[in-house]
Amino acid sequence: MSSISVPTPKCLQRPLNVPHRHMFGPGPSNVPPRILKAGANPIIGHMHPELFEIMSDIKSGIQYMFQTQNRMTLAVSGTGHCAMECAIFNAVEAGDRVLMAVNGIWGERAADMAERIGAQVNTIVAPPGGIFTSAEIEEALSRHRPVLFFITHGESSTGVLHPLDGIGQLCHKYNCLLLVDSVASIGGAPLHMDRQEIDILYTGSQKVLNAPPGTAPISFSERACQKIFNRKTKPVSFLLDLSWLANYWGCDDKPTRVYHHTAPVSALYSLRESLAVLVEEGLENCWERHAKVAEYFHTNLESMGLELFVQEKRARLPTVTTIVAPRGYDWKEITGYIMKNHNLEISGGLGPSAGVVLRVGLMGCNSSKANVDMVLAAIREALKYCHKNKM
């Protein structure tokens, strides 16, 4: 008589069947065959010298992408949320004062994470689609005197690209670290970590890089490391403890690396290949391509009579466009129609933009005028056939 009380699941006796879709939402984006192929390479050990060499290549690629010479540069095993927690959990201790710029969902998430570890959290809030002035930021820094200031460069929930010039200098004037979320912007819009005096910068693999979700590049300045490695208490997370990660990634100059966790080996292959693709195109060329495609998209949307959610042109994120949901239409019906009839994903809003906008992401290999034309045709058809309430 069998000791098995749970029967074999019928679903796992069928072959895996995953459809091909045009991933034109805010992420993840499509993964090109070259990067998929890289991820299919044979598994090697997470402590093998060959993997350490791949990790070293990844560090160099991240330094190029971030435009930094920071020694403390690596990729967290996890998505962008893991990198956000890595930054906050290492740089902030219970009782520390922090200041979070909230102009979308990611500032809200950062504040939540800091609150969970006992930080004193203050916020400055901009209306959805808006940005902060330097004067507003400096006033808040002067008033709250935080140890860390968080801001999102590419706010994918609202489609905002926030200017960064001068913010690092303001933070350092008040002895404060600058933490920047660039998950939706890196590679698609100009950013210079060292020149702009950013202390901690992170992103995700699944947006402009076109790698599968699951790795998150991050870098720490010497100023940030000074605070982190002089903490009074251990970081709340063992997995995200920078002292362990620094050793595993060869950032601490110690002669041997100690086992910390089993890295996602295949994901590292894919991340390395995605960085190689970026290097081949060239960072400035990639920025320029995204800017030109976004301008082409925005011009055509407005010629169709649609309204862009972000009013200030310079504050529009070139990777994720937010369109005011057409009046009289149910946005869910529009996105559902496009998915059903065009096998194409665009999404509704998130957080403060929920129910207000449609979001279209054209990132990395997806950023092309041909894909813009595809999206425009799908939206045009949806507006023709979806129900419009004339009330």
Residue 282 — φ and ψ, nearest 5°?
Answer: 95, 135
CA-to-CA dists, residue 221 to 36, 114, 226, 228, 312, angstroms:
32, 20, 9, 10, 31
pLDDT in tens, 200-214: 999 999 999 999 999
Q: Does 389 score more than 80 pLDDT?
A: no
pLDDT of residue 1: 78
- With left for phi above 0 and alpha for psi between -120 and 50, is residue 351 left, alpha or beta? left
For residues 130 and 103, the answer to whether their CB atoms sit within 8 Å is yes
10 Å Cβ neighbour count for 82? 21
Give the pLDDT band of residue 390 (cuts 50, 70, 90).
low
E-assigned strand segments in the chain: 22-23, 72-77, 97-102, 120-125, 148-152, 154-155, 160-161, 177-181, 200-202, 215-220, 320-324, 344-345, 347-348, 357-361
Q: Which residues contact 5 (CB under 8 A, 6 or more apart)?
A: none
Q: Does 391 score more than 70 pLDDT?
A: no
Strands 200-202 and 215-220: antiparallel
pLDDT in tens, 2-18: 899 999 999 999 999 99
Q: Does 325 score more than 90 pLDDT?
A: yes
The 3-state DSSP class for residue 15 equals coil
pLDDT in tens, 43-88: 999 999 999 999 999 999 999 999 999 999 999 999 999 999 999 9
pLDDT in tens, 348-362: 999 889 999 999 999
Mean pLDDT of the region 133-161: 98
E-assigned strand segments in 190-319: 200-202, 215-220
What's the rounded Cα separation, in Å, for the pair 211 and 186?
13
What's the rounded Cα separation, in Å, for the pair 170 and 178?
9
> Which of 157, 194, 197, 200 minimizes the C-alpha distance to 27?
157
For residues 67 and 195, the answer to whether their CB atoms sit within 8 Å is yes
Mean pLDDT taken over the chain: 97
pLDDT of residue 387: 83
The 3-state DSSP class for residue 73 equals strand
Task: Give the CA angle between residues 84, 86, 91 to the nearest 5°.
Answer: 100
- With left for phi above 0 and alpha for psi between -120 and 50, is residue 187 left, alpha or beta? left
Residue 121 — φ and ψ, nearest 5°?
Answer: -100, 125
What's the rounded Cα separation, in Å, for the pair 239 and 262?
10
Residue 244 host element (H or E): helix 242-248
What share of the chain in percent tops pLDDT 90? Answer: 96
* DSSP 8-state secondary structure symbol assigned to residue 196: T
Residue 179 — φ and ψ, nearest 5°?
Answer: -110, 125
pTM: 0.96
Bridge partner list, 360: 321
Mean pLDDT of the region 281-301: 98
